[in-house]
Amino acid sequence: MQRTTMRRDIRTLKPEDLSQLVSDLGQPAFRAKQIGEWLFQKNVRSFDEMTNLPKALREQLAERYSFSAPTETARQVSRDGSRKYLLTFSDGTAVETVGMPRRNKLAVCISTQAGCAMGCAFCATGMSGLMRSLSAREMVDQVLHVADDFNERVTSVVFMGQGEPFANFDATVEALRMLNDPDGLAIGARHLTVSTCGIIPSIRRFAELPEQFTLAVSLHSAVQETRNKLMPGVKKFTLLRLHETLQLYTEKTGRRPSYEFAMIDGVNDTRPEMEALVDFCAGTLCHVNLIQLNDIPSSPLKPSPQEKVERLQHLLEMHGVETTIRNSRGQDIDAACGQLKQRFAVKKAGE
């Protein structure tokens, strides 16, 4: 019976693994840097493209390793220039990624899991449950795909697509470091933002990292009962404990977390809700991003009127809380926050 050997994807190797590999192959140390540049800066898809390596070395690598970059199975382009991609990995798992160009900048929103187990009431992804967590390399691949497609340098990455990054903590941190690596994409740590719905032990671990990565917390209500309904996956991490943890985070890091607050008509835009948010934020280091909830046709939750969004901004600012009203990008292609969900409606790539 013929046996097939599974070759490991070379793109999963870390810089130290590459050093070990070239040493095992009896090659000089600088070859590791060359291979790393092809893999992480030039994003090549075959060993033949590594033209500064001797042919014999390329052949040795091809015998031992494979390439398994994701393939783009669908895409949509928004009127505002954002592009949403459905990227499929070699095991058939697909995730969504969004590229958002703006004035010489290119931001990418990546997924950290296929699906999500958190079940947030306002989120299209949460409705379909978790399929699996992604590896660090699969997260970085999403960024490389967008960079290639726009043929531009990616200037910032938000881990805000499908999934809860802190439910996949180690791979998320590994991906952050790969993106930040000066020999790789070299994206500044402050331009790498991880968004969590408030997993407290992971926020504590995040605070211990030496890099200046940015933290965003999906808050969506500062009233416990409302938040439990909107975000049942973090019910056990109470607002009181979350508040304490965020204070520890700011003391430890000196950095300002941002709070995401999607405004939902009649749910979290009432006067008591607004006052609770002011109490949660006033006197602390934070920045609040107010977003009008994106409309998911099948959801009973609807966006607050613009006038209420502005009222809440005014109230927060009166209490010294810096607040921005954010416009979601890519709403017409369901790429905006909370709308990422694999749909059959997406156009096939190239159509």
CA atoms within 13 A on the CB side of 339: 21
Cβ proximity to ligand SF4: between 116 and 185 the closer is 116
User: Which residue pairs from 321-327 have beta carbons closer than 8 angstroms and sit at least 24 positions apart in sequence?
Assistant: 321/278, 321/281, 321/282, 321/286, 321/288, 322/286, 322/287, 322/288, 323/287, 323/288, 323/289, 323/290, 324/287, 324/288, 324/289, 324/290, 325/290, 325/291, 326/289, 326/290, 326/291
Asked whether position 165 contacts ligand SF4 by CB under 6 A, the answer is no
Q: Least distance (Å) from ligand SF4 to the CB of residue 26?
A: 47
Which tokens is 58 given? Answer: 């390329």
Query: Can you list the alpha helix ranges (DSSP code H) found in the chain?
Result: 15-24, 30-36, 55-64, 136-150, 169-180, 200-207, 224-230, 239-253, 271-281, 306-318
Cβ proximity to ligand SF4: between 117 and 325 the closer is 117
Asked whether position 123 contacts ligand SF4 by CB under 6 A, the answer is yes
Residue with tokens 């449950």: 129
Asked whether position 301 contacts ligand SF4 by CB under 6 A, the answer is no
Q: Least distance (Å) from ligand SF4 to the CB of residue 186?
A: 28
Asked whether position 112 contacts ligand SF4 by CB under 6 A, the answer is no
Cβ proximity to ligand SF4: between 260 and 273 the closer is 260
Closest CA relative to residue 94, chosen from 119, 115, 66: 115
Asked whether position 98 contacts ligand SF4 by CB under 6 A, the answer is no
Q: Least distance (Å) from ligand SF4 to the CB of residue 128?
A: 9
DSSP bridge partners of 258: 216, 287
Stretch that binds ligand SF4, among 24-32, 117-125, 174-182, 305-313 (CB under 6 A): 117-125
Asked whether position 334 contacts ligand SF4 by CB under 6 A, the answer is no
Cβ proximity to ligand SF4: between 68 and 196 the closer is 196
Other residues' Cβ atoms within 10 Å of the Cβ of residue 93: 16
Which tokens is 227 given? Answer: 């938040």
Stretch that binds ligand SF4, among 4-12, 19-27, 123-131, 270-278 (CB under 6 A): 123-131
Asked whether position 162 contacts ligand SF4 by CB under 6 A, the answer is yes
Burial track 152-163 (b if 16+ CB lie within 10 A, e otherwise) = eebbbbbbbbbb
Asked whether position 202 contacts ligand SF4 by CB under 6 A, the answer is no
Which is catalytic among the residues 96, 138, 164, 260? 96
Cβ proximity to ligand SF4: between 27 and 289 the closer is 289
Q: Which residue's C-beta sits nearest to ligand SF4?
A: 126
Interaction with ligand SF4 in 126-155: which residues (CB under 6 A)? Answer: 126
Give me the torsion for CA of 111, 116, 118, 120, rounded to 10°.
80
Q: How far apart are the first and last CA of the chain?
A: 43
Continuous segment of H or E residues that includes residue 213: none
Indicate if 96 belongs to the active site.
yes
Mask: binding to ligand SF4, 41-60, rule CB under 6 A, as x and -? --------------------
Q: Least distance (Å) from ligand SF4 to the CB of residue 91?
A: 21
Angle ∠(117,300,230) on CA atoms, nearest 5: 40
Which tokens is 67 given? Answer: 């390439």
Cβ proximity to ligand SF4: between 39 and 175 the closer is 175
Asked whether position 116 contacts ligand SF4 by CB under 6 A, the answer is yes
Asked whether position 125 contacts ligand SF4 by CB under 6 A, the answer is yes
Closest CA relative to residue 41, chosen from 187, 147, 180, 184: 184
Which is catalytic among the residues 116, 120, 197, 337? 337
Asked whether position 163 contacts ligand SF4 by CB under 6 A, the answer is yes
Binding residues vs ligand SF4 (CB under 6 A):
116, 118-120, 123, 125-126, 162-164, 197, 338
What positions carry a catalytic annotation? 96, 337
